[in-house]
Amino acid sequence: MAQGDLTCDVHIIGGGPAGYTAGIYAARAGLKTVISTPAALSGMMAMAPTVGNWPSQVEPAPGRDILERIHDQALNAGAEVVLESVAGVNFSEERGLQVFGGAQVHVARAVVVATGAMSPAEKVPGEEDFLGRGVAYCVACDGPLFAEEPVIVVGLDQHAAEEALALSEIASSVVFATPARTLNLDDHLAGALAETPNVTVETGVRLQEIVGDQSVEGGRFKDTDGNERIIAGTGIFMYLRGNEPATEFLLGAVDLDEKGFIITDELLATSMPGVYAAGDVRHKVVRQQVVAAGEGAVAALSAERFVRGSERIAMQRGIAR
């Protein structure tokens, strides 16, 4: 097959809830659909130890188990899953959008980017050991697991402070521990933190290690004078790293915001015709699995509309499918 030949109608990059849901919709619409992902079960949902806010999931379950069902559903619908990491794209070819996989070049009529926003790999000692046993990253996801318990929120910014405040409504007490000597928060948030009786703010403390036996019992922190102490808590919510969008491989082919998230319109179209984005990789506020899945559906429906339209144009121009 020549490099410019079409290999599918819709090429989806990423195998998380956004990518696999896009795959279900595109394949069920009768489009030849290919999904590239480095592993069948990967991304943030695959890492989530328990998920309690997935509709129809009456009892919380590991994110991996839920993702496996979405993956299987995409396969059943007819999508092809190729295990590879996409290294680059070329969206300026006239006869199709090129996606450079591990061993092959895919050429698609439409592309859905659903590569998520994983945290960079560097972890605090103890963080991986206690994942699912007291280490958490999101109050909407895991806050209810710590009802009436003492928790620690570690972070630097406005988002971390907002999460600490949200947690104060659930937990018995919250220590907001920050390595910053002074916090740069808006006045309203700073006032709310100061006035909430079960929140304590500890500035100038850097987390060295998460400690515990079977589950988290606290964090070992070092202050600016080099003194170390344990802050106790049965949960520790981590907001130090933030999430980084997986968009380097796009090499500037679509418009990104200043942090590298993809800018889309209401139909999840990017700045490049025929290229859509769904899930955590998008510039937006709420990053949750159910939202990612919903966006996968929207992106696939938009891609379908684009493909059907471009099919008509191709037929008018005499370009074979």
Query: Would you please indicate which residues are annotated as catalytic (active-site) residues?
Result: 138, 141-142
Helix %, strand %, coil % of the chain (to 5): 30, 25, 45
The pattern of x and - marking residues 281 through 300 that bind ligand FAD according to CB under 6 A reads x-----xxxx-x--------
Q: Between residues 206 and 287, which has the closer beta carbon with respect to ligand FAD?
A: 287
CB atoms within 10 A of CB 25: 24
Instruction: Check binding of 13 to ligand FAD (CB under 6 A).
Output: yes
Among 279, 303, 304, 307, binds ligand FAD (CB under 6 A): 279
Please list every residue from 122 through 161 that binds ligand FAD, using CB under 6 A: 137-138, 141
Choice from 22, 24, 44, 210 touching ligand FAD (CB under 6 A):
44
Distance CA 121, CA 116 (A): 14
List, in sequence order, every residue forming a beta bridge with 230; answer none if it has no partner. Answer: 220
Residue 52 vs 78, nearer CB to ligand FAD: 52
Asked if residue 310 binds ligand FAD (CB under 6 A), the reply is: no
Q: Does 47 bind ligand FAD (CB under 6 A)?
A: yes
Cα–Cα distances in angstroms (integers) from residue 40 to residues 46, 118, 302, in the given order? 10, 16, 25
Among 96, 116, 155, 219, binds ligand FAD (CB under 6 A): 116
Q: How far is CA 186 from CA 119, 162, 203, 243, 245, in A?
A: 25, 11, 16, 22, 25
Q: C-alpha angle 110/111/112, rounded to 5°?
A: 130
Q: Which stretch binds ligand FAD (CB under 6 A): 7-15, 88-96, 151-159, 222-230?
A: 7-15
Give, as ranges, the residues between 56 and 85 that touch ligand FAD (CB under 6 A). 85
Nearer to ligand FAD, 83 or 232 (CB): 83
270 touches ligand FAD (CB under 6 A): no
Please report how many Cα atoms fall inside a 13 Å half-sphere around the Cα of residue 268, on the Cβ side. 30
The distance of closest approach from Cβ of residue 98 to ligand FAD in the complex, given in angstroms and rounded to an integer, is: 14
Whether the CB-CB separation of 279 and 261 falls below 8 Å is answered with: no
Calpha distance 245→190 (Å, rounded): 28
Give the footprint of ligand FAD on this chain (CB under 6 A): 13-19, 36-38, 42-45, 47-48, 51-53, 85-86, 114-116, 118, 137-138, 141, 246, 249, 279-281, 287-290, 292
